[in-house]
């Protein structure tokens, strides 16, 4: 009974903090502190001694969660995205991809999808992907007469690939939280990412065949030689992707080592393109520092909340309660899907992962679900939340780019929400989509 009351108290306190508008990390630390002090004070009756003890646990936990070698990859992958955000990468991708897509139904709408997929493979951030590709593609598509709703929808849906296609920041956070191999998680995201790209492109092809009047006529035809000439601008970014992901897959480098190599290559790419100068270097470095500090602070808060919940026995109690319901694996995953989508409407993806891992992981392990597969599953569900109102972060980014009403942007993204849901169903039905490549590592 005491655990149930304490659970309700923690939930109320946490949502009160989150609802007040204070930082997510502070909310997590505050809720953990309230829960730990309350539980210990009830047992010992000494509030002052309990507060001192809880403060020492908080300090130790924050230091322990921050002192992780795996986390060293995080700021470097973020820095790669910041460097490329300020380079000519987006222009090069448009120029290199467009000639090859003119004969495909939907034509340049596919640039949003492939461009987001390529940029996701070097940035690791959904928000950076949406902002970078959107700045380049939306004005070009509008100028050429493409349907604005479909242009926005393809960007909103495809930008979520930044969460899945390695290097993925959210997979690093998940791997650190559960102490799982980040390299295996990265490799597990490749096939599901490709699957989503194919699904998105397939939807655009079908939509274009059903709505031929909304696709402008082809004005310029290029021969093979011309297309190959334009494709040369894709070579640097493809080399960057190969250097980062290939070195991890073949066991040449750890994710942290590969991230360091990626930063050097990204700086070289930016320098060769003429966009690297003192101002862009400092802006990129400061942007990466701010984002990394924010994520590290959230991880520290979540680590303390995890310790507090473990101390009070809440995760064990919830796992036993879920076990007593005797849900099948599919029913459990269906319930978790709804739970994550709802939670993702109010929190960003990283906060969702770090906030729920301690509670969800015992249930997942009890159900016999593979930890690497579950990491890909949770990222896919969080991707759906990124384009779900009222707090779908990709929707706000695209609203800022287009000036359109948030509901219009959400309506444009709705078909891609259902495609992501189909992607979740696909990896549930065929888990090998996520587990095949990791199982081949080291062979």
Average pLDDT over residues 242-263: 77
Residues comprising the chain, all counted: 443
Share of the chain above pLDDT 70, in %: 81
- Residues 315 and 194 placed together within one structural domain of the fold: yes
Average pLDDT over residues 363-388: 85
Q: How would you label 230-240 residue by residue, b for 16+ Cβ within 10 Å and e otherwise? A: beebbebbeeb
Q: Is the pLDDT of residue 319 over 90?
A: no
Which residue, of 16, 35, 67, is where some domain finishes? 67
Q: What is the pLDDT of residue 198?
A: 92
- Residues 237 and 89 placed together within one structural domain of the fold: yes
Which residue, of 67, 82, 110, is where some domain finishes? 67
Token couple for 257: 């080592």
- Residues 8 and 118 placed together within one structural domain of the fold: no
Range of the domain at 43: 1-67
Which residue, of 40, 67, 94, is where some domain finishes? 67
Query: Which pLDDT band holds residue 289 (cuts at 50, 70, 90)?
Result: confident
- Residues 57 and 76 placed together within one structural domain of the fold: no
Q: What is the pLDDT of residue 294?
A: 75
Rounded Cα gap, residues 437 and 168, in angstroms: 16
- Residues 52 and 114 placed together within one structural domain of the fold: no
Query: Which pLDDT band holds residue 425 (cuts at 50, 70, 90)?
Result: very high
Average pLDDT over residues 24-50: 70
Q: Is the pTM of this model over 0.75?
A: no
Query: Which pLDDT band holds residue 230 (cuts at 50, 70, 90)?
Result: low
Q: What is the pLDDT of residue 266?
A: 83
Share of the chain above pLDDT 90, in %: 9
Half-sphere exposure of residue 52, counting CA atoms within 13 Å on the CB side? 3
- Residues 59 and 89 placed together within one structural domain of the fold: no
Q: What is the pLDDT of residue 70?
A: 61
User: Is 204:106 a contact under the CB 8 Å cutoff?
Assistant: yes
Q: What is the pLDDT of residue 430?
A: 93
User: Is 236:92 a contact under the CB 8 Å cutoff?
Assistant: yes
- Residues 84 and 45 placed together within one structural domain of the fold: no
- Residues 53 and 160 placed together within one structural domain of the fold: no
169-178 vs 73-85: helix crossing angle, rounded to 10: 170
- Residues 364 and 433 placed together within one structural domain of the fold: yes
194-221 tens-digit pLDDT: 999 999 999 999 999 998 888 877 656 6
Mean pLDDT of the chain: 78
Query: Which pLDDT band holds residue 6 (cuts at 50, 70, 90)?
Result: low
Q: Taking Cα atoms as reference points, which of 382, 360, 375, 355 lies closest to residue 300?
A: 355
Average pLDDT over residues 77-86: 76
- Residues 51 and 81 placed together within one structural domain of the fold: no
87-111 tens-digit pLDDT: 776 667 667 777 777 778 887 788 8
Q: What is the pLDDT of residue 389?
A: 63
- Residues 53 and 103 placed together within one structural domain of the fold: no
Structural domains in the chain (count): 2
Token couple for 370: 């593979």
- Residues 305 and 270 placed together within one structural domain of the fold: yes
Rounded Cα gap, residues 438 and 436, in angstroms: 6
Alpha carbon of 81 to those of 24, 181, 251, 364: distances in Å? 23, 22, 23, 32
């Amino acid at each position: 009974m005491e655990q149930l009351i304490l659970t309700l108290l923690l939930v109320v306190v946490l949502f009160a903090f989150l609802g007040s508008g204070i930082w997510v990390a502070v909310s997590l630390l505050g809720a953990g502190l309230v829960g730990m002090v309350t539980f210990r004070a009830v047992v010992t009756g000494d509030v002052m001694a309990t507060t001192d003890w809880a403060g020492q646990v908080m300090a130790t936990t924050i230091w322990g969660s921050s002192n992780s070698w795996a986390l060293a990859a995080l700021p470097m992958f973020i820095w790669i995205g910041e460097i490329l955000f300020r380079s000519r990468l987006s222009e090069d991708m448009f120029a290199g991809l467009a000639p090859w897509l003119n004969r495909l139904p939907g034509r340049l709408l596919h640039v949003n999808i492939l461009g987001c997929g390529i940029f996701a493979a070097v940035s690791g951030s959904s928000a950076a992907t949406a902002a970078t590709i959107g700045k380049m593609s939306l004005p070009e598509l509008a100028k050429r007469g493409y349907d604005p709703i479909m242009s926005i929808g393809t960007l909103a849906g495809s930008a979520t690939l930044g969460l899945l296609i390695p290097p993925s920041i959210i997979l690093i956070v998940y791997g650190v939280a559960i102490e799982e191999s980040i390299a295996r998680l990265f490799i597990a995201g490749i096939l599901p990412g490709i699957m989503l790209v194919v699904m998105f492109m397939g939807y655009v092809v079908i939509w274009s065949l059903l709505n031929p009047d909304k696709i402008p006529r082809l004005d310029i035809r290029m021969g093979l030689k011309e297309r190959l000439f334009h494709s040369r601008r894709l070579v640097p970014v493809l080399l960057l992707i190969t250097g980062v992901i290939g070195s991890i897959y073949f066991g040449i480098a750890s994710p942290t080592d590969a991230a360091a190599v990626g930063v050097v290559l990204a700086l070289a790419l930016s320098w060769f393109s003429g966009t690297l100068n003192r101002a862009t270097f400092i802006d990129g470095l400061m942007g990466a520092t701010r984002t990394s500090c924010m994520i590290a602070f959230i991880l520290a808060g979540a680590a303390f909340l995890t310790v507090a919940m473990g101390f009070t026995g809440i995760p064990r109690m919830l796992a036993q309660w879920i076990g007593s319901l005797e849900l099948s694996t599919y029913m459990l995953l269906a319930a978790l899907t709804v739970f994550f989508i709802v939670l993702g409407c109010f929190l960003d993806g990283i906060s969702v992962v770090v906030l729920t891992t301690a509670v969800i992981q015992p249930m997942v392990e009890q159900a016999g679900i593979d930890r690497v597969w579950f990491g890909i599953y949770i990222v896919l569900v969080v991707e759906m939340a990124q384009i779900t109102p009222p707090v779908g972060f990709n929707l706000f980014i695209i609203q800022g780019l287009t000036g359109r009403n948030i509901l219009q942007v959400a309506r444009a993204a709705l078909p891609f929400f259902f495609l992501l849901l189909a992607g979740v169903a696909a990896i549930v039905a065929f888990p090998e989509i996520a587990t095949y490549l990791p199982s081949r590592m080291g062979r």
